[in-house]
Amino acid sequence: MFSETCARARRATRTLAVATTDEKRSALRRCAAALSEHEARILRENALDVADARARGTKDALVDRLALDAGRLSAMAGAVRAIAEQDDPVGETIEDRRRPNGLRVRRVRVPLGVIGMIYEARPNVTAEAAALCFMAGNAVILRGGSDAKRTNVAIAEAVRGALPDDVRDAVQLLADSGREGVLEMVRAEGAIDLVIPRGGEALIRFVTENARVPVVQHYKGVCHLFVDAGADVAMATEIAKNGKLSRPGVCNALECLLVDAADAARLLPPIARALVLGGCELRGCERTIALVPEAKPASPGDFGFEFLDKILAVRVVDGLDGALAHIRQFGSGHTEAICTSDASRADRFRREVDAACVVVNASTRFHDGGELGLGAEIGIATSRLHWRGPMGLEALTTMKWIVDGEGQVRT
């Protein structure tokens, strides 16, 4: 029963919340070793999941996300080992001050509690989410997708088997039971402290609309690059190519290019040519078409759209104000970039753009926990509460206040 799963998770957090960093690290190192030791079984179960998916006519791209081999499994174990080496946020003092009445007031980081993780195809999430939640002192209840069910069971059993008895239930995997199972989890107020959904927009909306527990979510990444008048055209071209072509299917990929009208005749044709040569389809506004004959006319729905493919919307805008207005209307609050050689416009862009990550003269693809120096991430939050951007260990903690006195009372 789900309520028993939650109760076991809560009991495990009591021990885990006060475990030392070294205890957590050595448990995770044993988990990583167990993933390697269970290689044969995990790959066998994965082959069955993959065969089922193929038999159902699943698209190649999805089968690829699901499929494991020795190299991918070893990368998964490596990710768990890397998480074990990260700084432990639990117990960290955020603030420490002395009040005039002599009270010492501290704010310290503590684990969040019991985290519900709802995700779709990729089985590496099972191991990485378990390791991240564990290292931050939390229990996690994993609800993976049905496509990967045998693989997830094999991974979870390897991980759980390597955990000490008194914290084994800090990692629990639930069988996928469709939307009903998701509802059960997102309505478990008091039993689940946070739900993190990772998957398509439909899943995220369903979770948000039905949740009574807090949710940190990420709808989509409609990322823009604004190329400012006077920008270095070679730099802008490399940033645009990297944003759109290096991995079009991810949330920090570029979906729309904005170019300042004052300098578009110089900037846009070479950038467009490089993208087209890279196999990208361009969908442009009228002013774009006038400068780039290869571009198709954009329909209104192309702006603000997450293509997740080698397709890019292109619009010529009137200066920084035009770019800011476009981003305000069509941006998703994920990642917004500017390429500029003007310091004051860079500064206005940094201040006025309201997004989880604002990038100046670099690729939007850097908005990622590893690239920003956080280590592994459990997801990227585009919500504003609790956390925004890549969620590493610190995002999986809360805090408590500690007040130390020598008998003080309030007057």
What are the residues binding a second copy (CB under 8 A)?
A: 14, 17-18, 97, 99, 103, 105, 107, 110, 112-113, 189, 193-194, 208-209, 212, 214, 216, 232, 235, 238-239, 241-242, 246, 346, 350-352, 354-363, 365-367, 371-373, 383-386, 388-390, 398-410
Nearer to a second copy, 112 or 158 (CB): 112
The two structure tokens encoding residue 329? 């209307």
Nearest-10 Cα torsion for 343, 252, 82, 87: 50
The two structure tokens encoding residue 375? 């280590």
Inter-residue contact 170 to 132 (CB < 8 Å): no
Nearer to a second copy, 69 or 354 (CB): 354
Q: How far is the CB of 95 from a second copy (least distance, A)?
A: 9
Nearer to a second copy, 158 or 275 (CB): 275
Q: How far is the CB of 16 from a second copy (least distance, A)?
A: 12
Nearer to a second copy, 26 or 408 (CB): 408
**Rounded to an integer, what distance in angstroms lies between the CA atom of residue 109 and that of residue 91?**
5
Nearer to a second copy, 35 or 240 (CB): 240
Q: How far is the CB of 11 from a second copy (least distance, A)?
A: 10
Nearer to a second copy, 161 or 249 (CB): 249
Q: Please report where in the chains the tokens 């920003």 appear, as a residue.
A: 372
**Rounded to an integer, what distance in angstroms lies between the CA atom of residue 25 and that of residue 20?**
9
The two structure tokens encoding residue 160? 């759980």
The two structure tokens encoding residue 126? 């099972």
Q: How far is the CB of 28 from a second copy (least distance, A)?
A: 21
- Going by their DSSP bridges, the two strands 223-227 and 296-297 should be labelled as unpaired
- Phi, psi for residue 50 in degrees, rounded to 5: -65, -45
The two structure tokens encoding residue 295? 């571009």
Q: How far is the CB of 99 from a second copy (least distance, A)?
A: 6
Q: How far is the CB of 395 from a second copy (least distance, A)?
A: 10
Output the CA torsion sign for 21, 25, 27, 28: positive
Q: How far is the CB of 30 from a second copy (least distance, A)?
A: 24
Q: How far is the CB of 351 from a second copy (least distance, A)?
A: 5
Nearer to a second copy, 114 or 298 (CB): 114
Nearer to a second copy, 75 or 103 (CB): 103
15-24: buried (b, 16+ CB within 10 Å) or exposed (e) per residue?
A: bbbebebeeb
Inter-residue contact 193 to 114 (CB < 8 Å): yes
**Rounded to an integer, what distance in angstroms lies between the CA atom of residue 387 and that of residue 314?**
31
Q: How far is the CB of 45 from a second copy (least distance, A)?
A: 33
Kindly list the distances between the CA atom of residue 169 and the CA atoms of 30, 104, 205, 248, in Å, as whole numbers in the listed order.
Answer: 16, 36, 29, 38
Nearer to a second copy, 117 or 159 (CB): 117
**Rounded to an integer, what distance in angstroms lies between the CA atom of residue 339 and that of residue 360?**
6
The two structure tokens encoding residue 341? 């050689």
